[in-house]
DNA sequence: AACCGATTCAAACGGCAGTTTAGAGTGATG
DNA sequence: CATCACTCTAAACTGCCGTTTGAATCGGTT
């Protein structure tokens, strides 16, 4: 049977397997051999279909980006003419969903979180294609909540929001040791998103009112 | 000249070099060869003075902990009978200082941040010796600010504070690309600590007032 | 001087990872 | 049927890493 006849061509299976491995272990720790094993392909498959491990990684990153944009469009459950508060809530919720969704390719959030901590050459791609647009969107949301605030204050507020969300991903190993009972199911994600949104709104309003 | 006569014995030089390498590259990426090169020692030195790479890592972790406790004691510039707000401010400031201080062994904060993201076997040590005491201290601070709140609410507030602080360490590569101008000098750290403290106080007060 | 324990050293070992290579299979094309 | 491009495969190559080994060095002790 030729590869094209199979339900999934080898190239696609490699992208799937690589996405899972890269998201779980990072670029360096993920091994080409394990990726090929998961994809049911030969060790040389990566070098044949993609030039090398790094090019495969870039392909995974851009693919995850396209998928994430499809699955979590910017609007994301917002009605027409939403308030800034609603936009912030939707933004935070979407970030949580991207990071904790265990669906098929849920790598986008995990890859992004990992690149932040352990950058590779693909970081420039990620920043330009994914992070910068989201950063600008969150900046505009916060700007609407803090009219008249300077750029520096906006950045501080944005970092506070992002930091809270990413922490639940970064620190999950520690959390598992500190609070063994805690598990992140679907409703917990909604609870966390609600908390971060309210907490951040209070902080932002304080910044807007206090005059900095 | 015998090793004991040198200003620094080989064992100590190894600990210094290993601390820097581990903090910068993490346990797996740091190489024994580079550590020994920095320490001016033979490749076999690690296996002679410590049993293996992992034992060296544990020694570095516990050493960094002792140093951090000495340099940043829990009180840290607080007067007698401080308010909860002052305690929170001191706590946040101490975390920032530990992470950004470039002094001799400033690894404690960096190692901790790294272990959170990429745990090793030493994570249990770190959690018990370093993270859990700090976690409990922050819990008590937040408890004083949110009297009557449940454990779950306290944990959410604690996570929000920690997440904001750690974000400035985790995301520094991305920040460098998004805001090339931003640099973290001594006064910037004070500014960041002040922001996170105020932002968090507003969020915590909102949680305490809103009734959750 | 002879010996000893501690330390240092160069060299090698074994394993794993990314990549390359040479060849075999396969469907389409003439 | 011969040819060709594409795909896949087993095996080897190269380099790095942690560790081990056996000898050399050196101060102190008898």
Model confidence at A104, in pLDDT bands (50, 70, 90)?
Answer: low
Between B40 and A177, name the one with better pLDDT.
Answer: B40
Query: What average pLDDT does this structure show over B25-48?
Result: 96
Q: Supply the pLDDT for residue B82.
A: 94
Q: Which of A116, A117, A165, A181 to mutate to test the interface with B (most CBs of B within 10 A)?
A: A117
Cβ contact A171:B118 at 8 Å: no
With an 8 Å Cβ cutoff, are B127 and A174 in contact?
yes
Q: Is pLDDT of A151 > 80?
A: yes
Cβ contact B15:B57 at 8 Å: no
Chain A residue with the nearest C-alpha to that of B212:
A195
Between B133 and A42, name the one with better pLDDT.
Answer: A42
DSSP string for A111-164: HHHHHHHS--TTHHHHIIIIIHHHHHHHHHHHHHHSTT--HHHHHHHHHHHHHH
Residue B29 counted as domain residue: yes
- In a 10 Å sphere around its CB, with 0-12 CB exposed, 13-18 middle and 19+ buried, how is residue A165 labelled? buried
Q: Is pLDDT of B128 > 50?
A: yes
Residue B119 counted as domain residue: yes
Specify whether A74 is located in the same domain as A18: no
- What one-character DSSP code corresponds to residue A105? T
DSSP string for A36-95: HHHHT--TTHHHHHSSSHHHHHHHHHHHHHHHHHHHS-SSSS--SS--HHHHHHHHHHHH
Q: Supply the pLDDT for residue A103.
A: 63
- Which residue from A156, A195, A205 is facing B156, i.e. has the nearest CB? A195
Query: What average pLDDT does this structure show over A178-194?
Result: 83
Specify whether A45 is located in the same domain as A149: no
Q: Please, what's the b/e burial string for A95-118 (b: 16 or more CB within 10 A of its CB; e: otherwise)?
A: bbbbbbbeeebbbbbbbbbbbbbb
d(CA B131, CA B139): 12
Specify whether B68 is located in the same domain as B158: yes
Chain A residue with the nearest C-alpha to that of B206:
A202
Between A204 and B210, name the one with better pLDDT.
Answer: A204
| Residue B116 structure tokens | 């959170």
- Pick the closest to residue B137 from B60, B76, B62 (CA basis): B76
Distance from CA of B101 to the nearest CA of A (A): 19
d(CA B141, CA B147): 10
Specify whether A77 is located in the same domain as A32: no
Q: Supply the pLDDT for residue A106.
A: 67
Residue B58 counted as domain residue: no
Model confidence at A3, in pLDDT bands (50, 70, 90)?
Answer: very low
Between B149 and A176, name the one with better pLDDT.
Answer: B149
Specify whether A12 is located in the same domain as A91: no
Q: Supply the pLDDT for residue B194.
A: 97
- Is the C-beta atom of A176 closer than 7 angstroms to strand D? no
DSSP string for chain B: --GGGSSS-HHHHHHHHHHHHHHHHHHHHS-HHHHHHHHT--TTHHHHHSSSHHHHHHHHHHHHHHHHHHHS-SSSS--SS--HHHHHHHHHHHHHHHHH--STT-HHHHHHHHHHHS--TTHHHHIIIIIHHHHHHHHHHHHHHSTT--HHHHHHHHHHHHHHHHHHHHTHHHHHHH-TT----HHHHHHHHHHHHHHHHHHHHHHHHH--
| Number of separate domains in chain B | 2
Specify whether A43 is located in the same domain as A80: no
B43 CA to D25 C1', in Å? Answer: 17
Residue B56 counted as domain residue: no
Specify whether A102 is located in the same domain as A188: yes
Residue closest to C25, CA→C1'? A2
Q: Is pLDDT of A205 > 80?
A: yes
Model confidence at A138, in pLDDT bands (50, 70, 90)?
Answer: very high
Between A130 and B138, name the one with better pLDDT.
Answer: B138
| Residue A166 structure tokens | 């990413």
Distance from CA of B16 to the nearest CA of A (A): 23
Q: Angle CA(B121)–CA(B63)–CA(B31) in degrees, nearest 5?
A: 55
Q: Percentage of chain B surpassing pLDDT 70?
A: 90
Residue A117 counted as domain residue: yes
Q: Is pLDDT of A212 > 70?
A: no
The answer, as to whether pTM is greater than 0.85, is yes
Q: Supply the pLDDT for residue B1.
A: 42
Q: Supply the pLDDT for residue A174.
A: 87
| Residue A135 structure tokens | 């950063």
Specify whether B130 is located in the same domain as B197: yes
- Which residue from B124, B155, B163 is facing A177, i.e. has the nearest CB? B124
Domain membership of residue A153 as a residue range: 63-208
Cβ contact B206:A199 at 8 Å: yes
Q: Is pLDDT of B119 > 60?
A: yes
Specify whether B44 is located in the same domain as B92: no
With an 8 Å Cβ cutoff, are A163 and B159 in contact?
no
Q: Supply the pLDDT for residue B3.
A: 40
CATH number for position B190:
1.10.357.10
Specify whether A114 is located in the same domain as A35: no
Lowest-pLDDT choice from A190-204, B173-187, B191-205 = B173-187
- Residues of chain B with Cβ-Cβ distance to A204 below 8 Å are 199
Residue A57 counted as domain residue: no
Q: Supply the pLDDT for residue A130.
A: 79
Query: What average pLDDT does this structure show over A118-142?
Result: 87
- Residues of chain B with Cβ-Cβ distance to A199 below 8 Å are 156-157, 160, 203-204, 206-207
Q: Supply the pLDDT for residue B211.
A: 52
Query: What average pLDDT does this structure show over A47-61?
Result: 96
Q: Supply the pLDDT for residue A6.
A: 52
Q: Is pLDDT of A5 > 60?
A: no
Chain D bases near protein Cβ (<7 Å) = 7-12, 16-22, 26-27
Residue B95 counted as domain residue: yes
What pLDDT, in 10s, does the model give residues B150-189?
999 999 999 999 999 999 988 888 888 887 776 677 888 9
Q: Supply the pLDDT for residue A195.
A: 98
Specify whether B84 is located in the same domain as B186: yes
Q: Treating both helix axes as pointing N-terminal to C-terminal, what angle do B132-145 and B186-210 enclose, rounded to 10 degrees?
A: 50
d(CA A46, CA A14): 7
Cβ contact B20:B63 at 8 Å: no
What pLDDT, in 10s, does the model give residues B68-105?
777 777 666 788 899 999 999 999 998 888 888 766 56
CATH number for position B16:
1.10.10.60
Residue B57 counted as domain residue: no
Specify whether B19 is located in the same domain as B67: no
């Amino acid at each position: 049977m030729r590869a094209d006849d199979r339900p999934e061509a080898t190239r696609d299976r490699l992208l799937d397997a690589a996405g899972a491995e890269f998201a779980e272990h990072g670029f360096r720790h993920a091994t080409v051999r394990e990726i090929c094993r998961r994809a049911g392909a030969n060790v040389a498959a990566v070098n044949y279909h993609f030039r090398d491990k790094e090019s495969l990684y870039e392909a995974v990153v851009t693919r995850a980006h396209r998928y994430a944009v499809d699955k979590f469009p910017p609007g994301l459950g917002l009605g027409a003419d939403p308030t800034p508060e609603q936009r912030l809530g939707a933004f935070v919720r979407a970030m949580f969903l991207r990071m904790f969704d265990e669906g098929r390719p849920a790598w986008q959030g995990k890859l992004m979180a990992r690149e932040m901590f352990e950058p590779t050459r693909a970081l420039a791609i990620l920043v330009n294609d994914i992070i910068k647009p989201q950063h600008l969107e969150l900046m505009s949301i916060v700007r609407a909540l803090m009219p008249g605030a300077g750029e520096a204050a906006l950045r501080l507020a944005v970092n506070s929001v992002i930091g809270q969300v990413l922490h639940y991903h970064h620190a999950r190993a520690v959390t598992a040791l500190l609070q063994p009972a805690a598990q992140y199911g679907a409703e917990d994600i909604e609870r966390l998103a609600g908390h971060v949104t309210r907490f951040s709104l209070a902080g932002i309003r304080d910044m807007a009112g206090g005059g900095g």
